[in-house]
Amino acid sequence: MKNIDTTGQQQAGPEPVDVEVNVIPVELYKVLKFEGLVGSGAEAKSVVADGMVLVNGAVETQKRKKIMADDVIEFAGQRLRIVFTGGEA
């Protein structure tokens, strides 16, 4: 998400929070659910289908989108960066 300041320059949104996962890929709706950004898996699928979630700066409508290390997810003013902590990806 980008903000426009009073000079018309684009500014990056808040710094992303690192989310550690030990399995790659992980499905988009699961990240939203397990990080507590939504109340349930059904709600996660709904907000994705409604185009309310960005992945790497683009609207993502695939509920089961495969999220990889270094992907950045944006939803409800939050930015999450996926960090792989397991063995081989």
Label the pairing between strands 26-27 and 66-67.
antiparallel
Distances (CA, A) of 51 to 7, 46, 57, 60, 76: 29, 9, 12, 6, 12
| pLDDT tens-digit map of 15-68 | 999 999 999 999 999 999 999 999 999 999 999 999 999 999 999 999 999 999
**Euclidean distance between CA atoms 17 and 20, whole angstroms:** 10
Question: pLDDT-based confidence at 12, cuts 50/70/90?
Answer: low
Q: Are 67 and 29 in contact (CB under 8 A)?
A: no
